[in-house]
Amino acid sequence: MAFELPPSKTNDTVNGLFFNPLHDLFAAVSHRRHCPKLDDLSWSLMGIWRVLDESGSGRGFLQEHGLRFQSLPTVRNYFQSLRSERRADLVTELNAILLESTRDQLTDRLADIPELDAYEVFAVDGHWHTGATHDPKVSEKKVSTGHFYSLDLRRHTLRDLAVNEYHKEHDMHVLKRLKPKGLRQGVTQGKRVLTVYDRAGVDFDYWRRCQKECAVYFLSRVKENMVFDSLFELDFDKEDPRNAGVQRDERVHSTKNLNFRVITYLEPETGQTLEFLTNVMDMEPGILVELYRRRWEIEKVFDDLKNKLEQKKSWSSDLTGKRSQGQLIALTYNLIRLLEDFLQEEHGIRNEAEEERKIQQRQNLATKVRESGRQISSLLENACKATQRSVKYIRWLRGCLRDRVAASVALPFLRSLYAEI
């Protein structure tokens, strides 16, 4: 049976529910062209299915699933298509259109922090695939491919911002290639963008330029070798439960003659002292601490990609092919998220066992912290929402799409899977 986009929106099958967000969008993609050997829509659907599939190689994928597609390419044509700049641009544009068209449909995970209404917040980090079969070796090891992803902390959707262009390209070099406008990620004028990055993403001059040119701000951790002069301490609301654990909030002066803000925080579980660095000056420090903690959510997404979707290896030794893979992974992940949210909001199907486990985990943490005499932020104590796709859900989705299972059968089955401990 062909793996294809249903002719119209439908809620009758899981295939329909999964692909409904793509309807009417493909026609709006400006990079479409007529390709008789492998049309753009079939190529995109093949890419989505390859992300969902567990085949270890492109050749194996075509041999196992080729007959599921209306346009069956040769192995040569398929690998050539991955190297097409136009197709890489096509799937990049398709993902951007998808995110824009569904931005108000997904649950807002930052809605409980009104101070963030003026911001879009993204966690950005690198994720690595092992080299493709024909990738070069360095010291007898395949050169890995670095993808720099951005996770929207408000909606939990994903973009692939860039691919490293050479072995061990530094994070800051990649960010500078994107330029400040690229880090806005299509956010409309009138909103600020806050980029949350680990300590590898600190460059004072660059972030000052981003703020000045495009209202892109940053939040990171202080490196051990950084030197600052403290200018003065900033007042913050010590009665605000969101600021629990904040020890000090100060304006500092860097060796490059730039002013930033350093927040000193006592981590409640370990008692470790952490320092956060930012150029956001008008927000309670506890909110910024919590946003950096939520940066860890992108690491959970990387675990989903690697261990549940089995995206561990590069599909191509060509740089454009690697870029296409990253974009198709992001597109597929977003379709998975959209369906998951739809099932929760419209059908009440949620992983209640996992949610209960998270709640119990937070309660145990709060008890442990209070017994130690330390304080816990209300934002941390109440952050119980699951941040990963469960393996039950991924397996269920993979099987339903493969076998075109009716929604009337599939949805009760998923509900029963979630009920199992």
- In DSSP notation, 159-183 reads EEEEE-SSTT--HHHHHHHHHHHHH
Name the pLDDT band for 3 (thresholds 50, 70, 90): low
Contacts of 333 (CB under 8 A, 6+ apart): 51, 157, 158, 301, 304, 305, 309
Residue 232, pLDDT above cutoff 80: yes
Structure pTM? 0.94
Ranges assigned E (strand) in 109-241:
119-129, 137-138, 141-142, 145-152, 158-163, 192-196, 216-221, 228-233
pLDDT the model gives residue 308: 94
pLDDT in tens, 370-392: 999 999 999 998 876 667 899 99
pLDDT the model gives residue 329: 97
pLDDT in tens, 148-170: 999 999 999 999 999 988 877 88
- Bridge pairing between strands 192-196 and 119-129: parallel
First to last CA, the chain: 34
Determine which of 126-135, 309-318, 354-363, 378-387 has the lowest per-residue pLDDT on average: 378-387
Of 204, 199, 127, residue with least CA distance to 162: 127
pLDDT the model gives residue 86: 96
Q: Which residue carries 């001059």 as its tokens?
A: 205
pLDDT in tens, 290-336: 999 999 999 999 999 999 999 999 999 999 999 999 999 999 999 99
Q: Identify residue 29 by its one-letter amino acid code.
A: V
Mean pLDDT, all residues of the chain: 90
Residue 407, pLDDT above cutoff 90: yes
Of 392, 396, 386, 393, residue with least CA distance to 354: 386
Report the C-alpha gap between 108 and 70 in whole angstroms.
Answer: 38
Of 255, 268, 227, 266, residue with least CA distance to 366: 268
| 330 vs 142, higher pLDDT | 330
Task: Reduce the DSSP state of residue 138 to 3 states and report it.
Answer: strand
pLDDT the model gives residue 55: 78
**pLDDT above 70: percentage of residues in the chain:** 97
pLDDT the model gives residue 1: 43
Name the pLDDT band for 23 (thresholds 50, 70, 90): confident
